[in-house]
């Protein structure tokens, strides 16, 4: 076993594709695709992911089981919060069972389009491949290129609820290839020698596209998928779904003499079995395989072999049926014959409701991917933290084992009651070591006609059957392969068809099934003295949880003298990111303590803390502190009182007593919802339901008289009132009835 330490940097870099379409893309170490991670079976690799980009990110190790170490798996809001800009996170990757080709990629928003790379796991020292050792190997990563900014593509779909814009080109190792404008000079090339055997490690890193892939004029032999060996399977082409990897042997046997062609196209062309296949057919991407020769005319056009038509479902299904596990004494197929848990999961594109029917889908809705009519809602605290820390209200354990009702799932007839999806955070709890069988059934609820790539984190599984139409529990069981089914971590469920998987739940902790690209809003993992939620009631039983400091609204007063230094350890026990700003404090040479999120610091995440150094060098009088993230300052705020230095006094008569009066606002709605609604739909913020003094609406508002804030004074005494306007937007006239005030 070998230990390795890597420190990849997430950073932006400028790339040009398709005729001067230059843009900054997110990369690892400036490379697109990113660097390959090489290891041997049994090795442990520590990867310190350093985020030098301008947005949150996570990295997932696609197909790596990570037994008993879900913290390193990478999906945002499931096993971790995203890595914030200028932060880093170390993940421990151990290759316990995997051998072959896998890949790593960003697992946040649409970032994996450019943030991805290969993982190559060689046999342990002293062992070898279960096939003849290749002369050389090449990695070919299939992907997509958008001329638009990737984040804009994602945000547009999220904000308006429509489908993602189609990419402008497909790519091999980041290059569109000869058939796309201004791309020939940079087409990726593979150089081979006649009579040698080569290993091609093919990875489909596309966001949604399934591909037919071939090397013109040559057969390929599939020997592995998803880092699991297969019986050698010779074919003219492969069909590979998003997230899958395939190891192919290629015998370079076509350059027989000097008159033989010596240049051949490596081709990836879209497989899409929907009615809109013709409109998606254009973007064929190619690389070039060249034989080493004495020929000095590389301008000769390479040989091109036609692939199956874009919508050739029969060709795709026939190829998939030919995949078989190695299933020998060295690499047995262990398929439990007794099943403990059976699930029937429908896959669909549904509609999710939008406030005021404001989205671009039918009737103002948005698209959302669904499993048994449940669309996963990203929580504000990652599920794994909620599980370990027994945080209630983050998820429920009632994900259904079957759909609410059965019907002809492949019929396009209107299924009105099933169109609207339930947005929630539901999980399925499995007992350790149970054998699980899942039938995945594609549906046509909205007639969207999409393929469904399925990836199971933390496990591989056997694909024991697949077919077209509705799954028939009587007849389709007879077609199951329980001898040598393919053992994979990613599966493409056929459009209007089904597939059955079986696996043993032997990797405890939280892992999840990933389907398609969910186009629902992703909340940022969010995380102040102690920030915590507390229950407050105003305006006639309008009770809600609000974010507070030490359970107090307004929060506690910080008192100091001019020249003092105060160290504030802000402990975030809330459920969202937070920062605290010291409003009006100069903080000379110490901007790190100022507090505005993403300007001077990253937010403080839930269950984290951050110590800020506050020195009052010139300030004397009244200031205030408040949250400086989203709309949180509405409840997270308090006074700062800076008294004169010892030995000095006020420049006015010393008051008998002082009172702090903080003017604010109260919303009956959840503050975060008020903010998110305005941000998502571009409107004004909802007006508050009440103005407040020290958190109380006062006598003129319903059900508020009993708690009206009171100031008790004595006749003939002078008092100092420290008045702070902590309202979000409101300016106020302020007065004390029957009295004058003196501003000092």
Do the domain assignments include residue 696?
A: yes
**Burial of residue 716 (number of CB atoms within 10 Å: 0-12, 13-18, 19+):** exposed
Pairing outcome for strands 558-561 and 220-225: unpaired
Beta bridge partners of 559: 641
Predicted confidence at residue 521, as pLDDT, reads 26
Predicted confidence at residue 531, as pLDDT, reads 62
d(CA 155, CA 111): 12
| DSSP states along 453-506 | EEEETT--EEEEEEEESS--TTTGGGG---SS--EESEEEEPTTEEEEEEEE--
Asked whether residue 445 carries a pLDDT value surpassing 80, the answer given is no
Q: How many domains does the chain have?
A: 4
Of 331, 359, 384, the residue that ends a domain is 331
Q: Print the domain residue range for 695.
A: 530-725
Under 8 Å between Cβ of 174 and 115: no
Asked whether residue 215 carries a pLDDT value surpassing 50, the answer given is yes
Instruction: Examine the domain organization and report whether 121 and 36 are in the same domain.
Output: yes
Of 126, 155, 179, the residue that ends a domain is 126
Do the domain assignments include residue 513?
A: no
d(CA 723, CA 663): 7
Give the model's confidence band at 371: pLDDT under 50 very low, under 70 low, under 90 confident, else very high: confident
Q: How many helices (H) and strands (E) does the chain have?
A: 5, 42
Asked whether residue 282 carries a pLDDT value surpassing 70, the answer given is no
Do the domain assignments include residue 41?
A: yes
**DSSP 8-state secondary structure symbol assigned to residue 683:** -
Do the domain assignments include residue 737?
A: no
> What values do phi and psi take at 320, rounded to 5?
-60, -40
Token pair, residue 585, equals 């404090």
Q: Work out the average pLDDT over 454-459.
A: 88
Instruction: Examine the domain organization and report whether 201 and 323 are in the same domain.
Output: yes
725 versus 673: the higher-pLDDT residue is 725
Instruction: Examine the domain organization and report whether 92 and 41 are in the same domain.
Output: yes
> What values do phi and psi take at 461, rounded to 5?
-150, 160
- Each residue of 686-725: pLDDT tens digit? 899 999 999 999 999 998 888 899 999 999 999 999 999 9
Binning the chain into helix, strand and coil, the percentages to the nearest 5 are: 10, 40, 50
Asked whether residue 453 carries a pLDDT value surpassing 90, the answer given is no
Token pair, residue 242, equals 């998003």
Instruction: Examine the domain organization and report whether 122 and 138 are in the same domain.
Output: no
Average pLDDT score, the chain: 88
- Each residue of 34-86: pLDDT tens digit? 999 999 999 999 999 999 999 999 999 999 998 878 888 888 877 888 899 99
Under 8 Å between Cβ of 103 and 59: no
CA distances from 226 to 61, 102, 194, 258 (A): 12, 6, 29, 39
Asked whether residue 443 carries a pLDDT value surpassing 70, the answer given is yes
Predicted confidence at residue 291, as pLDDT, reads 95
Asked whether residue 523 carries a pLDDT value surpassing 70, the answer given is no
- Each residue of 392-431: pLDDT tens digit? 888 888 888 998 888 888 876 656 667 777 778 888 888 8
Q: Work out the average pLDDT over 270-296.
A: 77
Instruction: Examine the domain organization and report whether 40 and 145 are in the same domain.
Output: no
Under 8 Å between Cβ of 280 and 272: yes
Asked whether residue 512 carries a pLDDT value surpassing 60, the answer given is no
Under 8 Å between Cβ of 229 and 331: yes
Instruction: Examine the domain organization and report whether 600 and 662 are in the same domain.
Output: yes
Under 8 Å between Cβ of 74 and 34: no
Do the domain assignments include residue 516?
A: no
Token pair, residue 149, equals 């900014």
Asked whether residue 459 carries a pLDDT value surpassing 80, the answer given is yes
Which residues contact residue 153 at a Cβ distance below 8 angstroms, ignoring those fewer than 6 apart? 110, 146, 164, 165
Beta bridge partners of 40: 122
- What percentage of the chain reaches a pLDDT higher than 70? 92
Instruction: Examine the domain organization and report whether 447 and 576 are in the same domain.
Output: no
Q: Work out the average pLDDT over 306-310.
A: 92
Of 492, 507, 522, the residue that ends a domain is 507
Give the start-end residues of each E strand in 280-428. Answer: 285-291, 341-352, 366-371, 374-376, 422-424
Q: Work out the average pLDDT over 462-480.
A: 94
Under 8 Å between Cβ of 377 and 426: no
Start-to-end Cα distance in the chain:
73
- Each residue of 644-672: pLDDT tens digit? 988 888 999 999 999 999 999 999 988 88
Which residues contact residue 679 at a Cβ distance below 8 angstroms, ignoring those fewer than 6 apart? none
| DSSP states along 183-238 | -GGG--EEEE-TT-EEEEEEEE--SS-EEEEEETT--EEEEEETTEEEEEEEES-E
Give the model's confidence band at 223: pLDDT under 50 very low, under 70 low, under 90 confident, else very high: very high
Which residues contact residue 499 at a Cβ distance below 8 angstroms, ignoring those fewer than 6 apart? 439, 440, 454, 463, 465, 466, 491, 493
Under 8 Å between Cβ of 195 and 237: no
Specify the pTM.
0.70
Predicted confidence at residue 274, as pLDDT, reads 64
Domain of residue 162, CATH code? 2.60.40.420
- Each residue of 16-25: pLDDT tens digit? 999 988 999 9
11 versus 458: the higher-pLDDT residue is 11
Give the model's confidence band at 279: pLDDT under 50 very low, under 70 low, under 90 confident, else very high: low
Predicted confidence at residue 518, as pLDDT, reads 37
Instruction: Examine the domain organization and report whether 50 and 186 are in the same domain.
Output: no
Asked whether residue 618 carries a pLDDT value surpassing 70, the answer given is yes
Do the domain assignments include residue 242?
A: yes
Radius of gyration of the chain, Cα coordinates, nearest whole angstrom: 31
Asked whether residue 515 carries a pLDDT value surpassing 60, the answer given is no
d(CA 104, CA 34): 9
> What values do phi and psi take at 586, rounded to 5?
-75, -35
Do the domain assignments include residue 520?
A: no
Instruction: Examine the domain organization and report whether 118 and 188 are in the same domain.
Output: no
Under 8 Å between Cβ of 396 and 377: no
Pairing outcome for strands 497-504 and 461-468: antiparallel
Q: Work out the average pLDDT over 435-447.
A: 86
Which residues contact residue 37 at a Cβ distance below 8 angstroms, ignoring those fewer than 6 apart? 6, 45, 47, 93, 104, 117, 118, 119, 120
Predicted confidence at residue 567, as pLDDT, reads 81
Maximal C-alpha separation, the chain:
114
d(CA 225, CA 204): 11
Instruction: Examine the domain organization and report whether 352 and 494 are in the same domain.
Output: yes
Under 8 Å between Cβ of 180 and 380: no
Instruction: Examine the domain organization and report whether 567 and 700 are in the same domain.
Output: yes
Q: Work out the average pLDDT over 540-551.
A: 84
Instruction: Examine the domain organization and report whether 220 and 295 are in the same domain.
Output: yes
Supply angle C-alpha 26, 38, 134, rounded to 5: 120
**Burial of residue 150 (number of CB atoms within 10 Å: 0-12, 13-18, 19+):** buried
Asked whether residue 602 carries a pLDDT value surpassing 70, the answer given is yes
Under 8 Å between Cβ of 5 and 16: no
Burial 166-200 (b: 16+ CB within 10 A, else e): ebbbbbbbbbbbbbbeebeeebbbbebebeebbbb
**DSSP 8-state secondary structure symbol assigned to residue 57:** B
- Each residue of 175-192: pLDDT tens digit? 999 999 999 999 999 999
Asked whether residue 439 carries a pLDDT value surpassing 70, the answer given is yes
Predicted confidence at residue 119, as pLDDT, reads 98
CA distances from 358 to 354, 373, 377, 520, 680 (A): 6, 22, 19, 14, 10
Token pair, residue 261, equals 């062609």
Find the Cα–Cα–Cα–Cα dihedral 359, 361, 364, 366, rounded to 10°: -60
Can the peptide bond before residue 504 be classed as cis, meaning omega within 30 degrees of 0?
no
Do the domain assignments include residue 743?
A: no
Pick the closest to residue 205 from 461, 28, 382, 47 (CA basis).
28
């Amino acid at each position: 076993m070998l230990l390795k330490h890597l420190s990849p940097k997430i950073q932006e870099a400028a790339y040009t594709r398709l005729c001067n379409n230059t843009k900054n893309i997110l990369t690892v170490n400036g490379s697109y695709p990113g660097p390959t991670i090489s290891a041997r079976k049994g090795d442990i690799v520590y990867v310190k992911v350093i985020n030098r980009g301008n947005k949150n990110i996570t990295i997932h190790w696609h197909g790596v089981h990570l037994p008993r170490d879900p913290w390193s798996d990478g999906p945002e809001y499931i096993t971790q919060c995203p890595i914030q800009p200028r932060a880093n996170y170390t993940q421990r990757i151990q290759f316990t069972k995997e051998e072959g080709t896998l890949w790593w990629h960003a697992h946040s928003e649409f970032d994996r389009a450019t943030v991805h790379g290969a993982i190559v796991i060689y046999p342990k020292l002293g062992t070898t491949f279960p096939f003849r050792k290749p002369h050389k190997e090449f990695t070919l990563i299939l992907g997509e290129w958008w001329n638009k900014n990737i984040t804009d593509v994602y945000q547009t779909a999220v904000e308006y609820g429509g489908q993602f814009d189609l990419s402008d080109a497909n790519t091999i190792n980041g290059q569109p290839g000869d058939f796309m404008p201004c791309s020939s000079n940079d087409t990726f090339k593979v150089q081979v020698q006649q009579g040698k055997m080569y290993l091609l490690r093919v990875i489909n890193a596309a966001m949604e596209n399934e591909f037919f892939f071939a090397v013109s004029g040559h057969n390929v032999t599939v020997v592995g998928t998803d880092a699991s060996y297969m019986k050698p399977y010779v074919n003219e082409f492969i069909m590979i779904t998003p997230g899958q990897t395939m190891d192919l042997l290629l015998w370079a046997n076509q350059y027989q003499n000097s008159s033989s062609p010596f240049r051949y196209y490596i081709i990836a062309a879209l497989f899409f079995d929907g009615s809109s296949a013709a409109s998606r057919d254009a973007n064929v991407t190619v690389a070039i395989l060249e034989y080493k020769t004495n020929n000095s005319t590389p301008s000769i056009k390479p040989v091109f072999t036609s692939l199956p038509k874009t919508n050739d479902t029969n060709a795709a299904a026939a190829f998939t049926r030919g995949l078989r596990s190695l299933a020998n004494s060295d690499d047995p197929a262990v398929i439990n014959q007794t099943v403990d848990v059976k699930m029937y999961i429908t896959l669909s594109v549904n509609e999710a409701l939008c406030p005021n029917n404001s989205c671009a889908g039918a009737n103002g809705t948005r698209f959302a991917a669904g499993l048994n009519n449940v669309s996963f809602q990203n929580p504000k605290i990652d599920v794994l933290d909620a599980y370990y820390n027994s945080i209630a209200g983050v998820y429920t354990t009632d994900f259904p084992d079957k759909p609410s009702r059965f019907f002809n799932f492949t019929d396009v007839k209107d299924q009105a009651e099933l169109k609207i999806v339930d947005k929630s955070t539901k999980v399925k709890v499995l007992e350790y070591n149970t054998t699980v069988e899942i039938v995945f059934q594609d549906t046509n609820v909205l007639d969207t006609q999409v393929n469904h790539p399925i990836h199971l984190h933390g496990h591989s599984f056997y694909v024991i059957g697949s077919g077209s139409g509705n799954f028939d529990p009587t007849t389709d069981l007879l077609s199951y392969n329980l001898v040598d089914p393919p053992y994979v971590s990613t599966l493409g469920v056929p459009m209007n068809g089904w597939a059955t998987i079986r696996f043993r739940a032997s990797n405890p902790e939280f892992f999840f099934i990933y389907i398609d690209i969910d186009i629902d809003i992703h909340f940022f993992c969010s995380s102040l003295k102690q920030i915590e939620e507390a229950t407050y009631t105003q305006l006639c039983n309008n009770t809600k949880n609000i974010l507070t400091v030490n359970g107090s609204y307004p929060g506690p007063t910080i008192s100091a003298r001019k020249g003092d230094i105060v160290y504030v350890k802000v402990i975030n026990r809330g459920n969202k990111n937070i920062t605290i700003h010291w409003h009006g404090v100069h903080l000379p040479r110490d901007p790190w303590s100022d507090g505005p999120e993403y300007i001077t610091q990253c937010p403080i995440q839930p269950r984290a803390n951050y110590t800020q150094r506050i020195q009052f060098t010139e300030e004397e009088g009244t200031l205030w502190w408040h949250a400086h993230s989203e709309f949180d300052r509405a409840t997270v705020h308090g006074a700062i009182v800076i008294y004169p230095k010892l030995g000095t006094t006020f420049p006015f008569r010393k008051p008998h007593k002082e009172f702090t009066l903080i003017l604010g606002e109260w919303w009956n709605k959840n503050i975060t919802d008020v903010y998110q609604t305005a941000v998502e739909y571009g409107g004004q913020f909802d007006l508050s339901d009440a103005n407040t003094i020290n958190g109380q609406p006062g006598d003129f508002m319903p059900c508020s008289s009993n708690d009206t804030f009171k100031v008790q004074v004595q006749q003939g005494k002078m008092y100092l009132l420290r008045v702070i306007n902590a309202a979000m937007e409101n300016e106020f006239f302020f007065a004390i009835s029957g009295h004058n005030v003196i501003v000092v």
